[in-house]
Amino acid sequence: MDNLLDREYRDHLGGYNRAANPDIALRERLPGYGINAFARLVYEFQGQAIRFN
């Protein structure tokens, strides 16, 4: 899951947009990554692995 709290983050070391980009205005701070999570579950039953990603 990306950006768990659905907030806009700006890293203080992130930098500024220097390219022509329709999503981010010129000289505007680049967005940060936010709070992310990753989980994997593996269950083995009689030697056969079942994976949930």
Show the tokens assigned to 53: 């990603």
Place of tokens 């000289």: 27
Q: Which residues of the chain have pLDDT under 50?
A: none
Strands of the chain (E only): list them: 41-45, 48-52
Q: In degrees, to the nearest 5, what angle opens at C-alpha 17 toward C-alphas 14 and 19?
A: 145
Torsion angle (degrees, nearest 10) of CA 16, 21, 23, 17: 0
Show the tokens assigned to 48: 């056969």
Report pTM: 0.46
